[in-house]
Each structure stands twice: as C-alpha cells, then as structure tokens.
Chain A
C-alpha cells in the first residue's frame, strides 16, 4: 500500500519547509515567548500587588484569556482591531496592522495569561523573608522585585516557562487562519499543490514530535541544573 506514496516530495521541498516555514514558526515562538513572559510577569505582579483595581483587572484579563479559544482571539484581533484603531484615532479607514504583527501581538497577549499564572506561582514560592531582607537593606518595590524576587522566581519556574513555550510552539500553527505560512502552513501548501497530503502531514507530525520531544527532554535536564542551592 505504501507503494502508492511518494516521499520524495519531502526531500524536494525541504528548503521551503524549513527555510521559510520553520524560520517563521521559530521566530514567532521566540518573540511571543519573550513578550509573553514580560507581560505575564507584569500581570502576575499586578495580581499580587493587592491594589484593588489593578488586582481585579489582572485577574479578569487572565481569566478571560484562559476561557477563550486561541483561534478565536487570533481572528478577533486581526479583523476587529483595525476598526477599533480607526475608531480610536478618528480615521475613516481601518488601521492596517498586518498579519504578522497582528499574530505576534495576539500570541504575546494571549500567552501572557498563561505565563502570568506560572510567574505568580514563582513569585509566591519565594520566602517572605527574602522580600523582608531586600526591604531591610533599603530596596523599594521595583528594586526588590528586580534584584531579589524575580530572578529567583524566574529560575525556579524556568522549566515550566519552557514547557509552556513548547505548547506555544505548537499553537503557532494556528496562524494559518491569517494565511501566514509557518511550518505547518508550508507543509500544507506543498501537500495541496502536489496532492501528497498523507506524506506531508506525516512528515509534519514527525518534525513537530521530534522537536517537542527533544525540547522536553532538554528542559528536564535543565531543571536539575538551574535549581538554586538553598
């Protein structure tokens, strides 16, 4: 039965699949992860700040993001934000954001909700005495967070942050709804063009599996390395 399959299509399309598709996927994952961790950390700080308005806002945002399917948010952001932008700026035509910036902002903002939950647990895992010690030597809130709490929280949570990034790596395939060509999209295009759906989708699955599995393995090894000796 396998004689009907032609796997040579994979070899001939490798430059396109990886040179364009995978580069896009990795770029989007990396930028979204960095942005998501930064926004997520700020959200976590807001949630733990105890300031009533801020606390509710952060909690509401996180709950909202976690209750919506990502693909819906990608759509919503891409189609509605130009109109909102036009309304806000008073422009008569929709503000064009572009598919890539739109996707990037969506991923950052959406993943921030998940990263914020991780960072919240990380911040809470730092003993209160550490905060007290930082305050006792005269550090203000931002100095305490920046020099003492967050570096430790970040290191404690690094394995979880990376695991979430692996999930993000898989989620980036959803950009197909904006006609952006990531690795999955590139595989899909070749598959449709050459009528080699099974071969290309098997190959795509193998690549995703190989990357995510080895990344998870590396994260587990890293976990033992970065632990802070107390």
Chain B
C-alpha cells in the first residue's frame, strides 16, 4: 500500500479527533489521573529520570535519563541487547525497574499510589509481534479495551474502532480474525487498537522487525502520518529512513546506557561517540 492510509491532518489537530474524545474529564489527553495538569505542546510528556534495572545480578539499564516533549518523535536505536526495548517497556511499567523514576504526563510510573492500568490505558503500545488477540475478530480487538477499560458503550467503541480501521486502510477486514491477515495488516490493526484508547503518547517496540520486507512500508506509512498529526511518539527501530524522515531526536543506546541523545540532524550528521559511529556505519551500509 503506497497511498497514504489516513486523511490529511488538519492544522493543529491532534491524532485523536474531538468527536471521539472520551467524555469524562479524568481521561482527557494529558490528564491521566483526574485533576492532573494537561501537558501543553512542547512541555515534557515523558521524563525518564536516572533509571537502572537489573535482571538478578545482570544490569540491563544503567542510569538512563532523557525526556520526550509533547508532540516530539524520538527514535531509540542501538545494537541488539542494548536495552532499548527494555527501556521503552519501562515507560508503561510492563518492565519494572529498581532505581530512578519515569513520569508520564505528570504521573509517576513506579509509585504505589499510581493506578497502573489507568496509566497504561492512555499510553499506546505497539509490539514487535503485533500481539493482537487471536481469538477475537478485528472489530473486537479494536473495541474490547475501550469497552472493558474505558467503559465506553459498545456502539461508541465500535464506531471509533471502525473509524480507525478505515484510517489504517483495513475496513474490509473488520470481521476477519488476526490469523487471516498478513503481518503488515496485523501491525496496522495493532496501531489502530492502541489509538482507539485515545493515547497521549505512543510507544513502538520494533514495530517492523518481525515483518517481511515488503510489508515494512505500509506500517511505516501509518507511523509517519501519526507523527505528522502531532502524536508524541517513542519508537524503538532500526529503520533509519523513518528516523531521518520524522524523528525530532535520536537516542542511541549500547550496553544498557544512553550513549547519545541528540537532535536528528546532529546524530546523522556527526555522531559524537565512536560506538554510535560504528553502529551507523554498519546499519547504513545497505
């Protein structure tokens, strides 16, 4: 699919259109918890503050610190085993960490008082292996969390789900099951599923790594559109073309550390660390 899967965004319109925004104030974009301040564009959406993580004795993350501003697209790259997937999974606490703190839209991730399911419901996540629910139809995949977690009516959830399905160009597949779709199609449904929750930020964990090469483009197209619409995105990927096109910043990780955290132009123009240079030369050869 080469044509744009989504309608052109209107100026200043967030990825989530107002007509489908949830009604209760506690779920407004930015306000993860009732009364929390709404994050203004340019202000910090995700603050990763000096986090460290161990698997037993093995340290997988070492003093990682970075920030993602609202509307910013940050690409996280690095060799395999560098901890980039682990870092992004710490943002919605799918992976717990032992030291430091992450704050998403003003809500502390590792805090006893934090309602984690509620926080996660507004942090969209797309996985390497799609992880659609194979026993549910595409429509049910898109609506189940809206209904069960956000408490939307079946009708509202369905309308929003099918709307997003149309935006990723898969309306014809609403009644099929995930196993009947190609990898690229499944990943687009997975993106729609995350968007259905009106997320304030989207996390992508190697969204194209498990895809056949000819399907990478269709998924990246959707992500590019999303970025253009102003979605705050943190993307773990090896797709440097995507990084060049839409990233604001690139974070380079190696051995559990953030080695380089630079504006896109600086990273591709003149990476400061030797490790980043080596990595780039390897990955850009083809």
Binding site for B on A (CB under 8 A): 127, 129-130, 132-140, 143, 147-148, 151-152, 155, 228-230
Asked if B134 CB lies within 8 Å of chain A CBs, one says yes
Measured CB to CB, the closest approach of chain A to B121, in angstroms, equals 3
* Partner of B118 from A132, A133, A138, A148 at Cβ < 8 Å: A138
CA distance A155 to B193 in the complex (A): 23
**A136, closest chain B residue (CB):** B125
Q: Could you say which of B129, B134, B178, B193 has the most chain A C-beta atoms within 10 Å of its C-beta?
A: B134
Other A-B pairs beyond A136-B194, A138-B149, A138-B150, 16, CB < 8 Å: A127-B131, A129-B131, A130-B133, A132-B127, A133-B127, A135-B117, A136-B92, A137-B194, A139-B117, A139-B145, A143-B117, A147-B144, A152-B133, A155-B135, A228-B134, A229-B177
Describe A's contact surface by its main secondary structure. helix
* Partner of A129 from B119, B124, B127, B193 at Cβ < 8 Å: B127
Question: Is A229 in contact with B180, judged by CB distance below 8 angstroms?
Answer: yes
Residues of B close to A230: CB separation below 8 A:
134, 178-179
Describe B's contact surface by its main secondary structure. mixed
* Partner of B117 from A130, A140, A155 at Cβ < 8 Å: A140
- 21 A/B residue pairs, CB under 8 Å, sorted by A: A129-B131, A132-B89, A132-B127, A135-B117, A135-B120, A136-B94, A136-B120, A136-B125, A137-B197, A138-B122, A139-B117, A139-B145, A139-B149, A140-B117, A147-B133, A147-B144, A151-B135, A152-B134, A229-B134, A229-B178, A230-B134
CA distance A139 to B145 in the complex (A): 7
Question: Is B94 in contact with A135, judged by CB distance below 8 angstroms?
Answer: yes
User: 6 closest pairs, A vs B, by CB?
Assistant: A138-B121, A229-B179, A133-B131, A137-B145, A136-B125, A138-B149
Measured CB to CB, the closest approach of chain A to B177, in angstroms, equals 6
Residues of B close to A148: CB separation below 8 A:
133
**A148, closest chain B residue (CB):** B133
1/0 per residue, CB under 8 A from A, across B129-153: the answer is: 1011111000000001100111000
Question: Is A137 in contact with B149, judged by CB distance below 8 angstroms?
Answer: yes
Measured CB to CB, the closest approach of chain A to B264, in angstroms, equals 27
Residues of B close to A229: CB separation below 8 A:
134, 177-180
CA distance A230 to B132 in the complex (A): 10
Residues of B close to A147: CB separation below 8 A:
133, 144, 148
CA distance A102 to B21 in the complex (A): 54
Q: Could you say which of A135, A151, A152 has the most chain B C-beta atoms within 10 Å of its C-beta?
A: A135
Residues of B close to A152: CB separation below 8 A:
133-135
1/0 per residue, CB under 8 A from A, across B244-280: the answer is: 0000000000000000000000000000000000000
Known contacts A137-B193, A143-B148; is-contact A228 B135 (Cβ 8 Å): yes
Interface of chain B residues 147 through 162 with chain A (CB within 8 A): 148-150
**A143, closest chain B residue (CB):** B148
Residues of A close to B120: CB separation below 8 A:
135-138
Residues of A close to B89: CB separation below 8 A:
132
**B118, closest chain A residue (CB):** A138
Question: Is A143 in contact with B177, judged by CB distance below 8 angstroms?
Answer: no
CA distance A134 to B118 in the complex (A): 12
CA distance A74 to B96 in the complex (A): 47
Known contacts A133-B127, A151-B135; is-contact A139 B94 (Cβ 8 Å): no
